[in-house]
Amino acid sequence: MYFMWIFYRAMLRTILIKKYVNTSDIQWIIGHSPVVHLKEAIIMLSLLFLFYVAYAVIKNLLPDLYTSIPVHYWDRGMGIIGIFLFIKWVLDFLNLYLDCLILSKDHAILFLREGRLEYKTEFFSWNKINTISSSQNGIRNKIWSVGDIVIKLEFDTEFPFADVTNPKKQVSKLITLKEQFMERQKQVIEKDLHEDDQRFNVLVEAMSEVVKDYLDKSQNK
């Protein structure tokens, strides 16, 4: 059941991301750790619990205040607060859920959603990336296997992506794709050089034939 949930969760992210990012060769999508979502859910439940406690305190310890306002107003007020907190949690969940690092054969894309209608993307060609590293700060992150991925470009420009599961394992995916890209680039360059050599050899042979014909004609005169 857990693995099915992980599968559908990944499929949903892929479908949603493709609405924002136009890439047809997605190899991996790295998102935030489920621990981050769990933390947000705990915060929301804690807020709901505090409002319930406040409501119970007013009802039982401040009966004059409670009875001075019609009961249906209290019910509506608590319902509105609950709906507001739930909607806020859903929006915060989507913002975190859609934040991701998209890996394709030719580049990496850092996608960050910053609101209902706002988002930004950063494209990194593999040959422009100098280093890819991971970091884990604190005992809590090490216990939960949560850490950050740091992509460093030239001039020491860094682009971190925080709170991912097994950061070292995720970094290895990036490094593998970078190495594969560089190997393909190397093969393309070697192929171009080989074709240039062949064209040069053909040109040399043609020039040799021209020179030979010229010398033969000169000797026959």
Averaged pLDDT for residues 193-219:
63
Q: With respect to residue 152, please indicate whether it lies within any of the assigned structural domains.
A: yes
Higher-pLDDT residue of 161 and 72 is: 161
Band of residue 197 on the pLDDT scale cut at 50, 70, 90: low
Digit-coded pLDDT (tens) for 58-71: 878 777 777 777 77
Digit-coded pLDDT (tens) for 163-191: 999 999 999 999 999 999 999 988 887 77
pLDDT at 133 over 60: yes
CB-neighbour burial class of residue 30 (10 A; exposed 0-12, middle 13-18, buried 19+): buried
pLDDT at 151 over 90: yes
Overall number of domains in the chain: 2
pLDDT score for 115 = 63
- Residues 6 or more apart whose CB falls under 8 angstroms from that of 53 comprise none
CATH number at residue 148: 2.30.29
Q: With respect to residue 16, please indicate whether it lies within any of the assigned structural domains.
A: no
Q: With respect to residue 21, please indicate whether it lies within any of the assigned structural domains.
A: no
Query: Domain boundary at 55, 81, 98, which?
Result: 98
Report which secondary-structure segment, H or E, holds 121: strand 119-125
* Closest residue by Cα to residue 178 from 136, 124, 134: 124
Residues 132 and 74 in one domain: no
| Alpha helix positions (H), 99-155 | 139-143
| Alpha helix positions (H), the chain | 2-17, 34-61, 63-67, 71-98, 139-143, 167-220
Residues 92 and 137 in one domain: no
pLDDT at 203 over 70: no
Domain span at residue 90? 32-98
Long-range contact pairs involving 181-186 (C-beta distance under 8 Å, separation at least 24): 181/105, 181/106, 181/126, 181/127, 182/126, 182/127, 185/127
pLDDT at 159 over 50: yes
Digit-coded pLDDT (tens) for 3-56: 444 545 556 666 766 666 666 678 888 989 988 888 888 988 888 888 888 888
Q: With respect to residue 75, please indicate whether it lies within any of the assigned structural domains.
A: yes
How far apart, in whole angstroms, are the C-alpha atoms of residue 13 and residue 29?
8
How far apart, in whole angstroms, are the C-alpha atoms of residue 195 and residue 172?
34
Averaged pLDDT for residues 141-149:
89
Mean pLDDT for the chain?
Answer: 80
Q: With respect to residue 111, please indicate whether it lies within any of the assigned structural domains.
A: no
